[in-house]
Every structure is written in C-alpha cells, then in structure tokens.
C-alpha cells in the first residue's frame, strides 16, 4: 500500500535541515519533493558553543535547544507541505533524525544524543513522528551509527557488481555492498568528510565551505602534515566505529597544525582534502576485497576537487554521484530516515548488526502519535 512520508535530517555540518517528501509502497520508494531550511545562525552558534565546552553546559540552554530544534524541524516539514499543497493528514509519518549534539559510542557506558524534541514536531505538524533512531541499537551493544547502510543495501546494492556507497557529510561514512548476496554488508565512519574543510575555509576565506573545492585544488599537499594526520588512532581502529564533531573538530585541527612548521593556508586546504580522500580510500582498500564502483552522496559530492582525488585514488573503480542511480545525493540521508520510519511502523528492524556491531537486529526509534495515528 502506497503511503507518504517526510524524512528530516540535520547533520554534522550544521548547514541546514533537509526535508524530503517520498511515497513508499513496499519496496518501491519515490521522491516527490524536497526542501532545505538553513540552520539559523544563533542556533548554529549555540550548538557549536555547547560542543566546544561540553563540561559547562547549562541545563536550561540544553532543554531550550531541544525544543527550539523540534520547532525548526516541524516548520521545515510544514514548508514541504505548503510547497507541495499537501495536507498533514495525507502524510503517514515523519522520520526525524534530530541534531546530533554528542556521540560517545566508545565510553564504558556509551550514549548518543540527538536533539529536536519529536513531541514538538508531532504537535507543530499534527503528523505522527518517529525519532530517536540510534539509541536502541546502542542499547543492543551497537555504535548507534551509521544507520544509512541498511538503506543503501536496500536501494543501491547490485548483483554482479561490488559497490561502495560513500556519504560525504560533515563526517564521512561508507557502506560496503558486496555483489554476492551471501556476504554481509559492512560499513563505518571513515572520519572527517567536509568538517575540517569547512572550518579552515571559514577561518581563512570567511566562507562556509570551499566552493567546488577550488581553493583546495590551488594548493599543494604537504606530505608531512598528511602523514601525521593519518596516524591518528581513529583511522587505524577496526570497525565497528563511528565518530563526530566531538573528536574531529577545530581543536583536533589546530593540534595537527601546531605539530609542524607553518604552512600556506591553501596548502593546508589541499592537505585536508587529501586527508578525506585518503582516509576513505585507505579504508576501502583495507576492508573490501573488491570495489567496482563507488557511489557518492552528501554535500561533498559538489567538491569537484575531492571527487577527482577520490577517483584517482580508487582507480580503476568508477566514482560517481548517486544521482546516476536515481537518488539525488543531497537527499539520500533524509530519504533514509523516511524509510527507517516506515520500517519502525511496520515492526521491522532498521539496524544492520554487521555495521553497528549490535548483538542483534532491533526495531529502531520511538513513535510520537499525530492527530490521525492508529496502532
């Protein structure tokens, strides 16, 4: 039976809230419309400040941020309804990822924190909202991330072709999709995607990103800096593994830069671009026996220089956007959370234990009923 869903995603780049409207009919998913609401500057600053000084978080500020993000997510869903002349009761459910504030899978008592109160989303929109997707996987011993490999497996796997799907968001994560159905899909976060590139571009160009990677392409790679960064223990760690801005951040970057001689800013950008490309392709070479094709999604697909470096390092495999395979790269994650909401409501598991390391498959998330909810 065909049903309409909204998927909401606000990722580690903190650039905006993505919303997609899709129809799901058993195994068929169709994209109808999408929109992005930019993250308001004050909310972005608030999140970055909290992440930069986690020891001194004010509980009032934390609680209010949760509610304010819930309202922002609800409004973004309403933008999509207005833009498509759709009524709330035509939508079966919203799948909301939330905004990750802090992700600590490796602590002795692990936890992950996504803000954006789903009660507020359900109240603002009147639509049943499924959220809090990561914590059940963690409760079952998993990393709680990445979750999107299950969606990649469902829609981008191909018999007779070994594929890798790469998400280049603030962080980068890969799904290894072997051609042979007998082999498990694996995947993990490889480390920074765009986050360090954005931080360095903001500091030196006063721009939110290195548009099309042109600045990085103008510099020269500093081999010492690259080698030093690649010795970070995260890159050496065996999966399952996942990471975020609590690890790869301004402080990490400054520590790496301070450990060597001063470099031209463009050369640093070239080296940071190479760090993303190398950490992704080294991970693929280490963990996949074969890769015929890599499909790339996430905002980093627009960084042409990074895409060229990925192609060069992964040759003879082909590197291309998920667009070629029917899923626009900017909407993959939001679409995945619409799909995960559908799985939850149907009572199907959403995690892949072979990816997250959970002890068993689990139904992800919690349901916040909307006006026309029925169990």
Q: Is 356 annotated as a binding residue?
A: no
What is the DSSP secondary-structure string of 63-122?
Answer: HHHHHHHHHHHHHHHHHHHHHHT--GGGEEEEEEEEEEEEEETTSSS-EEEEES-HHHHH
Q: Which is nearer to ligand AH0, 153 or 200 (CB)?
A: 153
CB-based contact 147:137 (threshold 8 Å): yes
Q: Is 72 annotated as a binding residue?
A: no
Q: Is 344 annotated as a binding residue?
A: no
Q: Which is nearer to ligand AH0, 72 or 171 (CB)?
A: 171
Cα–Cα distances in Å, from 374 out to 4, 127, 179, 223, 368? 16, 12, 40, 59, 11
φ/ψ of 348, rounded to 5, equals -100, 145
Q: What is the Cα 125 distance to its own chain's centre?
A: 24
Give the shortest CB-1-to-ligand ATP separation in angstroms.
30
189: phi > 0 → left, psi -120 to 50 → alpha, else beta; which? beta
Strands 91-104 and 129-131, how do they pair? parallel
Q: Is 14 annotated as a binding residue?
A: yes
φ/ψ of 135, rounded to 5, equals -75, -25
**Which of ligand AH0, ligand ATP, none does 300 bind, CB closer than 5 to 8 A by kind?**
ligand ATP
Binding site residues, ligand AH0, CB under 6 A? 11-12, 100, 103, 112, 145-148, 167, 169, 171, 173, 189, 242, 244, 333
Q: Which is nearer to ligand AH0, 35 or 100 (CB)?
A: 100
Of the candidates 166, 279, 169, 174, the one whose C-alpha atom is nearest the C-alpha of residue 226 is 279
Q: Is 142 annotated as a binding residue?
A: no
Binding site residues, ligand ATP, CB under 6 A? 11-13, 15, 167, 169-171, 193-194, 197-198, 209-213, 298-300, 302-303, 333
Q: Which is nearer to ligand AH0, 12 or 322 (CB)?
A: 12
**Which of ligand ATP, ligand AH0, none does 69 bind, CB closer than 5 to 8 A by kind?**
none
For the four alpha carbons of 44, 16, 273 and 357, in that order, the dihedral sign comes to: positive
Token pair for 344 = 């939850």
Q: Which is nearer to ligand AH0, 216 or 244 (CB)?
A: 244
Q: What is the Cα 283 distance to its own chain's centre?
A: 17
**Which of ligand ATP, ligand AH0, none does 189 bind, CB closer than 5 to 8 A by kind?**
ligand AH0
The residue length of the chain stands at 375
Give the shortest CB-152-to-ligand ATP separation in angstroms.
13
Q: Is 53 annotated as a binding residue?
A: no
Q: Which is nearer to ligand ATP, 11 or 88 (CB)?
A: 11
Give the shortest CB-144-to-ligand AH0 separation in angstroms.
6
Give the shortest CB-244-to-ligand ATP separation in angstroms.
8
Cα–Cα distances in Å, from 245 out to 84, 154, 193, 295? 34, 28, 11, 24
As a whole number of angstroms, the distance between CA 266 and CA 269 comes to: 5
Give the shortest CB-303-to-ligand ATP separation in angstroms.
4
Q: Is 219 annotated as a binding residue?
A: no
Token pair for 310 = 């990925």
Q: Which is nearer to ligand ATP, 22 or 145 (CB)?
A: 145
**Which of ligand ATP, ligand AH0, none does 299 bind, CB closer than 5 to 8 A by kind?**
ligand ATP
Q: Is 280 annotated as a binding residue?
A: no
Give the shortest CB-364-to-ligand AH0 separation in angstroms.
11
Give the shortest CB-269-to-ligand ATP separation in angstroms.
11
**Which of ligand AH0, ligand ATP, none does 15 bind, CB closer than 5 to 8 A by kind?**
ligand ATP
Q: List the binding residues for ATP.
A: 11-18
Query: Which residues participate in the annotated binding site?
Result: 11-18
């Amino acid at each position: 039976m065909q049903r309409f869903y909204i998927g909401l995603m606000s990722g580690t780049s903190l650039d905006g809230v993505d919303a997609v409207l899709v129809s799901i009919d058993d195994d068929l998913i169709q994209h109808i419309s999408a929109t992005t609401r930019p993250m308001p500057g004050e909310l972005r600053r608030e999140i970055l400040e909290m992440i930069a000084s986690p020891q001194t978080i004010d509980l009032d500020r934390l609680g209010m941020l949760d509610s304010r993000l819930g309202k922002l997510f609800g409004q973004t869903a309403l933008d999509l309804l207005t833009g498509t002349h759709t009524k709330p009761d035509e939508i079966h459910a919203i799948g909301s990822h939330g905004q990750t504030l802090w992700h600590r899978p490796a602590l002795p008592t692990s936890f992950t924190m996504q803000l954006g109160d789903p009660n507020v989303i359900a109240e603002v929109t009147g639509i049943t909202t499924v959220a809090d997707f990561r914590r059940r996987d963690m409760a079952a011993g998993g990393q709680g991330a990445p979750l999107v490999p299950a969606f990649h497996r469902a829609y981008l796997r191909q018999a007779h072709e070994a594929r890798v799907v790469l998400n280049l968001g603030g962080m980068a994560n890969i799904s290894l999709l072997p051609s042979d159905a007998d082999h498990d899909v694996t995947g993990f976060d490889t480390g920074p995607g765009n986050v360090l590139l954005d931080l360095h571009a903001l500091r030196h160009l006063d721009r939110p990103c290195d548009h099309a990677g042109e600045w990085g392409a103008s510099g020269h790679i500093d081999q010492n800096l690259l080698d030093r960064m690649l010795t970070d223990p995260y890159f050496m760690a065996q999966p399952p593994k996942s990471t975020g801005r609590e690890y790869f951040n301004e402080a990490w970057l400054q520590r790496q830069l301070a450990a060597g001689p001063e470099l031209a800013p463009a050369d640093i950008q070239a080296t940071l671009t190479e760090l993303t490309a190398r950490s992704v392709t080294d991970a693929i070479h280490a963990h996949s026996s074969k890769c015929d094709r890599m499909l790339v999604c996430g905002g980093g697909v627009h960084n042409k220089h990074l895409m060229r470096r990925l192609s060069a390092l992964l040759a003879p495999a082909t590197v291309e956007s998920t667009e070629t395979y029917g899923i626009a790269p900017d909407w993959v994650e939001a679409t995945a959370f619409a799909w995960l909401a559908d799985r939850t409501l149907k009572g199907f598991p959403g995690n892949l234990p072979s990816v997250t390391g959970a002890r068993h498959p689990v139904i992800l998330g919690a349901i916040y009923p909307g006006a026309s909810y029925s169990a």
